[in-house]
């Protein structure tokens, strides 16, 4: 069972990850980006695509797709990230179609389910760091520009 001190430390680490993800996402898709803005970055492991799919006054949603360059049976990794403008944080809200931690994980160990949210956001932080270090932006477009 988690004690209160561990919970407070875990929450502090999670919020730090949210803030880090926000800063890294804003580097590629600023708040002023129009709905449908898309950035594609090329890594050695394959392309990473960031698309602004939803906007509201206080938050927006960015879809992140990682296409694998490995075997064809590997499916693309899809994340949805909500950016909270007023709080200055971004968190993963959807992992490959899972909007919450799967119930089968909750049935096994409560610690595992609590750690899952941290893992999702840690992966996003590492992916965005990799894109910042080694990625090459190949396209920046708006959906309205593509229709003309």
d(CA 56, CA 98): 23
d(CA 48, CA 66): 5
Give residue 19's pLDDT: 95
Backbone region of residue 24 per phi and psi (left: phi > 0; alpha: psi in -120 to 50; beta: other values): alpha
pTM of the model: 0.79
Give residue 43's pLDDT: 85
Backbone region of residue 75 per phi and psi (left: phi > 0; alpha: psi in -120 to 50; beta: other values): beta
d(CA 73, CA 120): 22
pLDDT tens across the length of the chain (148 residues):
456 676 777 788 889 999 999 999 999 999 999 999 999 988 888 889 999 999 999 999 999 999 887 788 888 899 999 999 999 999 999 888 776 655 555 555 555 555 788 889 999 999 999 988 887 765 555 544 444 4
Extended beta strands in 67-112, E state: 77-84, 89-95
Give residue 108's pLDDT: 52
d(CA 32, CA 133): 23
d(CA 134, CA 31): 23
d(CA 134, CA 126): 12
Tally of CB atoms within 10 A around 14: 17
d(CA 57, CA 122): 27
Q: Which residues contact 26 (CB under 8 A, 6 or more apart)?
A: 83
Dump pLDDT digits (tens) for 43-76.
888 889 999 999 999 999 999 999 887 788 888 8
């Amino acid at each position: 069972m988690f004690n209160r001190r561990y919970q407070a430390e875990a929450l502090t680490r999670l919020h730090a990850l949210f803030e880090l993800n926000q800063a890294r996402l804003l580097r590629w898709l600023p708040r002023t980006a129009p709905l449908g803005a898309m950035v594609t970055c090329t890594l050695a492991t394959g392309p990473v695509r960031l698309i602004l799919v939803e906007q509201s006054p206080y938050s927006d949603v960015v879809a992140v797709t990682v296409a694998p360059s490995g075997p064809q049976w590997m499916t693309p990794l899809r994340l949805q990230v909500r950016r909270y403008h007023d709080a200055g944080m971004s968190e993963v809200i959807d992992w490959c179609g899972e909007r919450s931690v799967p119930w089968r994980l909750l049935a096994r160990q409560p610690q595992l389910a609590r750690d899952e949210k941290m893992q999702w956001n840690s992966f996003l932080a590492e992916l965005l760091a990799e894109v910042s270090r080694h990625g090459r932006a190949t396209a920046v477009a708006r959906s309205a520009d593509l229709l003309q």
